[in-house]
């Protein structure tokens, strides 16, 4: 049975935490009764979803593509927008980024054609496109696309809606990866303004990263006292996260992507013990198919181990990383700050929400 991974589920869902009303596959002003084409399209999408859940991705793709080709001129725009997004996510599952890029952009065009009440759906697909661009190594384009999505969400919800927590976190992490530290600090401060004075459990890990990165920025700017406060807060949140995980037997260690990001930030901050624990937790929760992420984790582990003079273990981790690369015919160097923002979703967000 094919089960979508957390990153994949998030890519399907987009990264919106704003509540989205289910959109009927009808253009604005259309009658309440679905047209035959609309009814057929909904049935096709449901069947494609079943095939996808069974791992039959090519069959699901062919089913949706046939409908989109046949009804490109007579299907309601919202229905086509959903189907184009579905096609893109299927192709992204198969690492066919060029094709997925095209379908995501067509989906955005259809949502825009559908009218103002569908703006949040357009924002969701822009988030998915940002995920794709990041996966494809096109970091600057990913950031610009995320900013487009953000502008829509902020315009609708206002700048300090709790629903924008994920947005500020995503933008901050992307800004850090692009060395745009002033922008990262602004977004992270907005994140903290919304989460404080209390931080919900799903955001403990992200809040730990936010504080650690803010500590790095403050230290770089010579704000030593501020950096110390952020580093202390980060370690406190990390320990709280680990304590809460330990009381939930049978639950996986956590999402490897934010764990890797946090391990990197801890390592840069000099919190080596915490960095080692975070990278080990990430490795324990790594999916076998996540080859590029595994390479990144192993190379980060090697750096951490070298910092504490455990050279033999570091060399073993490096050799394992190289072995994985050669096995999967990918000899590119792992980017230190590479992230997969597809993994940064709320545990309360249904993966089906934007696909209806």
- Residue (of 114, 92, 151, 43) closest to 341 by Cα position: 92
Q: Which residues of the chain are modeled with pLDDT < 70?
A: 1-34, 197-198, 201, 248-254, 288-290, 329-356
Q: Which residue has the tokens 């730990």?
A: 208
Q: Which residue has the tokens 């096109």?
A: 138
Predicted local distance difference test score (pLDDT) of residue 350: 30
Predicted local distance difference test score (pLDDT) of residue 245: 80
Asked whether the CA dihedral 279, 280, 282, 287 is positive or negative, the reply is positive
Predicted local distance difference test score (pLDDT) of residue 22: 31
- What the chain holds in terms of domains, given with CATH numbers, is 1-158 (1.25.40.10), 255-344 (1.25.40)
Helix, strand, coil abundance in the chain, percent, nearest 5:
70, 0, 30
């Amino acid at each position: 049975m094919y089960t979508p991974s957390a990153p994949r589920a998030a890519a399907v869902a987009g990264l919106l935490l704003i509540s989205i009303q289910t959109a009927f596959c009808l253009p604005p002003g259309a009658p309440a009764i679905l047209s035959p084409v609309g009814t057929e399209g909904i049935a096709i999408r449901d069947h494609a979803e079943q095939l996808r859940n069974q791992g039959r991705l090519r069959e699901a793709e062919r089913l949706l593509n046939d409908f989109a080709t046949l009804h490109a001129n007579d299907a309601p725009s919202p229905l086509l927008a959903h189907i184009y997004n579905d096609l893109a996510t299927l192709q992204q599952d198969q690492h066919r980024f060029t094709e997925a890029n095209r379908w995501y952009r067509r989906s955005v065009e259809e949502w825009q054609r559908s009218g103002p009440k569908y703006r949040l759906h357009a924002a969701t697909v822009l988030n998915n496109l940002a995920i794709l661009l990041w996966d494809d190594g096109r970091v600057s384009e990913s950031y610009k696309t995320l900013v487009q999505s953000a502008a829509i969400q902020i315009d609708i919800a206002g700048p300090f809606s709790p629903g924008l927590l994920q947005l500020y976190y995503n933008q901050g992490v992307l800004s850090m990866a692009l060395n745009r530290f002033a922008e990262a600090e602004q977004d992270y401060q907005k994140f903290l303004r919304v989460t404080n004075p209390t931080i919900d459990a799903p955001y403990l890990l992200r809040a730990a990263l936010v504080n650690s990165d803010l500590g790095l920025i403050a230290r770089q700017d010579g704000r030593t006292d501020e950096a110390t406060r952020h580093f202390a807060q980060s370690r406190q949140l990390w320990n709280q996260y680990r304590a809460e995980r330990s009381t939930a037997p049978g639950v996986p260690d956590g999402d490897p992507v934010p764990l890797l990001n946090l391990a990197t930030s801890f390592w840069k901050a000099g919190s080596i013990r915490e960095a080692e624990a975070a990278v080990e937790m990430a490795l324990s929760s790594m999916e076998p198919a996540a080859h590029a992420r595994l390479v990144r984790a192993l190379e980060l582990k090697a750096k951490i181990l070298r910092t504490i003079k455990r050279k033999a273990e570091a060399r073993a981790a490096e050799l394992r990383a190289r072995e994985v690369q050669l096995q999967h015919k990918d000899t590119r160097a792992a980017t230190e700050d590479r992230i997969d923002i597809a993994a940064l979703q709320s545990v309360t967000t249904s993966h089906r929400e934007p696909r209806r």
